[in-house]
Structure 1
């Protein structure tokens, strides 16, 4: 066998070995490879308390996001009026209105913000229902929590921090103009939950 033929045979043998060693990767509907989740991957925040997780998320990520990556109330209102929001959704929204009422109870409270043709009740107080902040933020991801319970409980910690940022509502706020950034959840074309992130009194 000539050197040229020997070299060609070795090349074919090497190619066959490489093909045999390759693992066939499944493709998705768009032709992209499906990469399985690493079973050894470490769950984010696994060894931290929920309070520590909230501290890592709130000031560095969620609060700046709410202040800059919000939608206007007029945009949301136009969709609600047209009944275009058919699925449950959450978002950060900026409102401009007049405070009609401040109702503070022992556990729950409400700031009623008059928006002209309708009003929105902003939850304030020790007990706040819903997951509006958690679900509005792109930084709070289910996969970063080791189970559904912790993912549910992080909402309570984020709500606490929102109340600290908002400050304590006062009855003297009634009648004043206000610019409010809030996390809201819409379901069945209605605002179900609204949590203020920032309240600025006066013309802003």
Structure 2
């Protein structure tokens, strides 16, 4: 049957291609549906966490508000002479850690410490320091450009994993604290200027053995 064979009333509603046309009722329903979807859709900026809706973690901002006001004072307050620490760690690492250090979970202990000795050459980002009483231990200070590890974060004693949303934020906080330290301490520091001179360094370390002690500094002072 063709359109011409349809009754006069049916010809008005037939679609030119043989499909039924969208009635006014269906069109209204569609408009209402789309309006409802738009009304219930939440739009988030790129600065928000897409799963929780909270503002995304800003590691640089965290470090700027934590490093100098909190981390540095905590390390300076709790710094133990490195000779004392070396003896304690060599004798009993677990006891030394419980007495002097902090650690996240079951990881290695981190310590706030102070070192006084003679500065040597800086090689591969490490400034060697010869410390009286530590003839067998290698003591070095990270002087950049790369500063590695989480000693600043972990030795402070008040920064815990539970303060962050996930492991990524926790790791980013440690990296940002290192970056903040580089800006505040290492930017103006010249290793060659202290070579052969007596220096005092306050910082943090996470030693894997008692004989390799690498500090991340929060201050480096050379004797005049």
TM-score normalised according to structure 1 size: 0.68
Q: Residue 92 of structure 1 contacts residue 183 of structure 1 at CA under 8 Å; is this kept in 2?
A: yes
Aligned-residue offset at 1:97: 0.5
1:10 aligns to what? Answer: none
Q: Given the superposition, is the C-alpha separation of residues 46 and 75 from structure 1 closer, same or farther in structure 2, using an over 3 Å criterion?
A: farther
1:71 aligns to what? Answer: 80
The 2-side partners of 1:163 and 1:200 are apart by 15
Aligned-residue offset at 1:94: 0.5
Aligned-residue offset at 1:73: 1.2
Q: Residue 57 of structure 1 contacts residue 139 of structure 1 at CA under 8 Å; is this kept in 2?
A: no
Unmatched segments (≥5 aa) in structure 1: 1-42
2:130 aligns to what? Answer: 114
Q: Given the superposition, is the C-alpha separation of residues 192 and 115 from structure 1 closer, same or farther in structure 2, using an over 3 Å criterion?
A: closer
Going by fraction, where is strand more abundant, 1 or 2?
Answer: 1
Q: Secondary structure at the match of 1:187?
A: coil
Aligned-residue offset at 1:164: 2.4
2:194 aligns to what? Answer: 173
Larger Rg, first or second structure (1 or 2): 2
Going by fraction, where is helix more abundant, 1 or 2?
Answer: 2
The 1-side partners of 2:66 and 2:72 are apart by 8
The 2-side partners of 1:192 and 1:159 are apart by 18
TM-score normalised according to structure 2 size: 0.62
RMSD: 2.3
Q: What does the per-residue CA deviation read over 1:64-87, in whole Å, with 9 as the maximum and x for residues that have no partner?
A: 1122221111220211342x1157
The 2-side partners of 1:115 and 1:46 are apart by 47
The 2-side partners of 1:176 and 1:188 are apart by 27
2:172 aligns to what? Answer: 153
The 1-side partners of 2:68 and 2:78 are apart by 15
The 1-side partners of 2:118 and 2:192 are apart by 13
Please, which of 51, 65, 77 is the counterpart of residue 56 of structure 1?
Answer: 65
Unmatched segments (≥5 aa) in structure 2: 1-51, 98-107
1:202 aligns to what? Answer: 223
Report 1 or 2 for greater relative contact order, CA contacts < 8 Å, sequence distance ≥ 6.
Answer: 1
The 2-side partners of 1:63 and 1:140 are apart by 13
